[in-house]
Amino acid sequence: MTQIIAIDGPAGSGKSTVARAVATALGWSFLDTGAMYRAVTAEVLRRGIEPADADAVARVAAEASISTLPRVTINGVDVEETIRSEPVNVAVSTVSANPAVRRAMVTRQRAWAAAQPTGTVVEGRDIATVVFPDARLKVYLTASLDERARRRGDEGVSSVTRRDSADRERVASPLRQASDAVVIDTTDLSIDQVVEEIVKWLKTPN
């Protein structure tokens, strides 16, 4: 079975940067699941569908073909830039709280991981709790709100706070720290220090 490192945490905790760097250090692949929810959101907005229209949004998710590397595409359309736009930041909380959307994405995430010839690092909000509860290593990244907002740049502190609350409070697979996750506060750590810590935990016999 594919070895998996699951990395969860709130916006700006360093998940993408760290997951990518851990994958590079180990020669493993990497999956940014937030980009998948963002891609569905971009497609919903492009088609003029109301994000709260649960059935229409679920259909978009069920039928979508998504890839995240080398660039994020949905149904063959490059949305690498669009997925970081303000309208997507606003609508992604509603789209990702839709249980049918989550089912469609989780199915794709599991199939993707199963097809990897190497280990893989997967980051998101529900990776250790729902998608891969048997992951080899579970990591929960945190950082102070100020630092997380700084890392998110243009998004701003109020949008980051709103998205975090929505991610934590939704009914379907909310952001939660898995009971067996290693918790790393990245506020005052460099990327290299966080990567080192994760690789150390991977090599620690459990």
Which parts of this chain interact with ligand DC (CB under 6 A)? 11, 33-34, 37-38, 92-93, 96, 124-127, 163, 167
Minimum CB–partner distance for residue 123 and ligand DC (Å): 7
Contacts of 191 (CB under 8 A, 6+ apart): 14, 17, 18, 21
Is the CB of 34 or the CB of 119 nearer to ligand DC? 34
Is the CB of 138 or the CB of 163 nearer to ligand DC? 163
Helix (H), strand (E) counts: the chain: 8, 8
Rounded distance between C-alpha atoms, residue 17 and residue 193, angstroms:
12
Minimum CB–partner distance for residue 186 and ligand DC (Å): 14
Q: At what angle do helices 99-114 and 33-46 cross, to 10 degrees?
A: 130
Minimum CB–partner distance for residue 97 and ligand DC (Å): 7
Minimum CB–partner distance for residue 105 and ligand DC (Å): 7
Is the CB of 135 or the CB of 205 nearer to ligand DC? 135
CA 24 to chain centre: 18
Rounded distance between C-alpha atoms, residue 119 and residue 185, angstroms:
24
Is the CB of 11 or the CB of 139 nearer to ligand DC? 11
Rounded distance between C-alpha atoms, residue 54 and residue 69, angstroms:
28
